[in-house]
Amino acid sequence: MRRQFTAAANRWEDHYARRARRERYPARSVYKLEEIQKRFRILHPGDAVLDLGCAPGSWLLYAAKTVGDKGRVVGVDLSPVTIALPPQVSALTADVLAIAADAEAFFGRRFDAVLSDMAPATTGSSGVDAARSERLCEAALAIARAVLRPGGGFVCKIFQGDGFAAFAQAVRASFSAFRIHKPQSSRKASREIYLIGIGKREEDPCPATINGQASNTKKAPTTPGAEKSSPS
């Protein structure tokens, strides 16, 4: 019985990988965003979208399709995006942790949605990996607080660990509505979960911080493990 369940789980996972290849997406993670979009309507035609941890580019392609030709999608990742991108999409090779120190100056514009599918370079230690994930999430939230328009949306993947509750509360404080969601396409054994903020408050009650320090500092934080996108 256990062996049959494992085989079924593998077939379920393979279904998304085969579908991604068939639909010409570079990674199966696109279906996580697709499910979030269908349920929460974070993206709208004409929106400007920021995708953090964008490589290999599946979320960029899906966001571009959703916002349309009049929208704009900007991606950031330590790894370069090598796939062909639509005209309304640009991908920057940069460290999100460094950008978070002064996101307004780096981007020079506002966005309607900030997406983060970032994950740390994993070590095999669940506690270490969760802590590294939380730091990336803090950077993503700092950037979202700095560049999101009032009413904008936020999607952020996090590995559940000791800091999960505190980070969830920080997201909740900055948005009118807050949801926690695990997409069906997430691998069953994965500790990843997505936090969704809807309707950024015009006056954010919490200052954007990274590890407890205000994000308007000019000193870039030291990377504890390179962020990467999650193609799984």
Tell me if 45 is assigned to some domain.
Answer: yes
Q: What is the pLDDT of residue 2?
A: 41
The average confidence (pLDDT) of the chain is 86
Tell me the CATH number at 41.
3.40.50.150
Alpha helices in the chain (DSSP H): 2-22, 30-40, 58-67, 96-99, 103-107, 126-147, 164-174
Tell me if 15 is assigned to some domain.
Answer: no
Q: What does pTM read for this prediction? A: 0.84
Tell me if 214 is assigned to some domain.
Answer: yes
Tell me if 36 is assigned to some domain.
Answer: yes
User: Is the predicted pLDDT of residue 111 greater than 60, yes or no?
Assistant: yes
By residue range, what is the domain housing residue 149? 29-229
Distance CA 54, CA 76 (A): 6
Tell me if 186 is assigned to some domain.
Answer: yes
Q: What is the pLDDT of residue 216?
A: 37
Tell me if 17 is assigned to some domain.
Answer: no
The distance of Cα 165 from the centroid of its chain, to the nearest Å, equals: 18
**98-107, 120-129, 184-193, 195-204: segment of lowest average pLDDT:** 184-193
User: Is the predicted pLDDT of residue 157 greater than 70, yes or no?
Assistant: yes
Task: Identify the bridge partners of residue 52 per DSSP, sorted by sequence position.
Answer: 76, 116
Backbone angles phi, psi at 148, to 5 degrees: -75, 140
Grade residue 5 by pLDDT with cuts at 50, 70 and 90: very low
- The tally of domains found in the chain comes to 1
Contact, 43 vs 68, CB < 8 A?
A: no
Contact, 28 vs 20, CB < 8 A?
A: yes
> 3-state DSSP call for residue 25?
coil
Going by C-alpha positions, the residue among 96, 93, 36, 82 that lies closest to residue 63 is 36
Average pLDDT over residues 135-142: 98
> How does pLDDT run across 16-36, given as a tens digit for each residue?
889 899 999 999 899 999 999
CB atoms near residue 192 (< 10 Å): 18
> How does pLDDT run across 178-216, given as a tens digit for each residue?
999 999 888 777 889 999 999 999 876 655 544 444 443
User: Is the predicted pLDDT of residue 104 greater than 90, yes or no?
Assistant: yes
Tell me if 147 is assigned to some domain.
Answer: yes
Q: Which of 32, 38, 65, 157 is catalytic?
A: 157
Task: Identify the bridge partners of residue 200 per DSSP, sorted by sequence position.
Answer: 175
65 is catalytic: no
Distance CA 36, CA 45 (A): 16
Tell me if 22 is assigned to some domain.
Answer: no
For residue 158, the one-letter residue type is: I
Average pLDDT over residues 108-130: 95
- The share of the chain scoring above pLDDT 70, in percent, equals 81
Grade residue 106 by pLDDT with cuts at 50, 70 and 90: very high
166 token code pair? 């505190």
